[in-house]
Amino acid sequence: MTEMMGAPGLVPFDIMTGQAGKWMVGYQFMFEKMDGNLVGTGDISEANILQRFFAAPTAMTMQMHMGMVMYAPTDKLTLMALLPYVRKEMNHLTVDGARFAERTDGIGDIELRGMYAVYETNEPRQWFLLNGGVGLPTGSIDATMSGMRLEYPMQIGSGTFSLLPGFTYLGQTLPWGWAADFGSTVRVGRNDNGYRLGNRHQLGISITRQLKNSVSVSGGGRGELWEDIRGSDSLLDPTDEPTKDPNLQGGRRLSALLGITFHPQTGILKSQHFHIQAEVPVVQSLDGPQLQRSWVVRLGWQLEF
């Protein structure tokens, strides 16, 4: 989003790059809605789930508030820290017809990241960047309700350190910009409760069109793959509900994204960026029964100084 990476608004909002000596602070809010269960790509009813388990998840929401700070010691190197605060709620139906909701919230796993530009061309303007970082186990894995340990998807953290390798490609020819971004979350070891969350891999592509100096629109796609959990929490009974079975937590998803970014060039809002993005799944295949994603909305703000 900076002069280093060309025209304002042509770099995807979640790819933070800096200009030497510049700081940036930011905030992002994400709201995710999940509703209904899948096995593979097929729907499965709550009644069918309850033939095997005592309880079935029916819907879930997740809110994440992310604070960010970034500094660029050189034009090629950008360093950043990300602090998430997460709130989750999941609704259930039991075999005897009772309905109940679980809620949890807290600080998630802090991430420390770096991005380094290894290649650049001028006509058209292109950049290739290497990404790296580490996730710290600052989020709780011991959340309970009514004295009972909550299931894996309701925990806030991972309980393990994570490696965060990846790469980013950016290109621009006014008024167009395009990008491809790949990243992984590789879990290290097992946590104090005896398990390790599955590794995650994500590939995103996008095309951006600058409508005027202060407004850009973007569209793209995102592919995600995440693995089942290794090991298990001895306090979670996998026959109780599918969210407590470590072998039913993996999946794959392809989503479509549409966003708009405002980046004023004059006035009191200069050097600030405002972004809104909607994401909807095109296809999902889940190691279920597992709740499927319905949609995601993201809002963001950044200030560079």
What DSSP string describes 113-147? EEEEEEEEETTTEEEEEEEEEEE---S-S--EETT
What is the per-residue pLDDT across 262-289, written as a single tens digit (0 to 9) for each?
Answer: 988 888 888 899 999 999 999 999 999 9
What is the per-residue pLDDT across 218-268, written as a single tens digit (0 to 9) for each?
Answer: 999 999 999 999 999 999 999 999 999 999 999 999 999 999 999 888 888
Mean pLDDT, all residues of the chain: 94
Question: Of 82, 85, 62, 60, which is closest to residue 139 (Cα–Cα)?
Answer: 85
What CATH number is attached to the domain comprising 44? Answer: 2.40.160.40
Residue 6 pLDDT class (50, 70, 90 cuts): low
Q: Is residue 4 predicted with pLDDT exceeding 60? A: no
Q: Are strands 215-226 and 200-212 parallel, antiparallel or unpaired?
A: antiparallel
CA distances from 4 to 198, 208, 280 (A): 36, 17, 31
Number of domain units in the chain: 1
Q: Is residue 3 predicted with pLDDT exceeding 50? A: no
**Phi, psi (deg, nearest 5) at residue 244:** -105, 5
199 close to 242: Cβ distance less than 8 angstroms: no
What does the block give as tokens for 135? 């996730």
Domain that holds residue 125: 3-304
Q: Is residue 5 predicted with pLDDT exceeding 90? A: no
What is the per-residue pLDDT across 106-138, written as a single tens digit (0 to 9) for each?
Answer: 999 999 999 999 999 988 899 999 999 999 999
Task: Tell how many helices (H) and how many strands (E) occur in the chain.
Answer: 1, 18
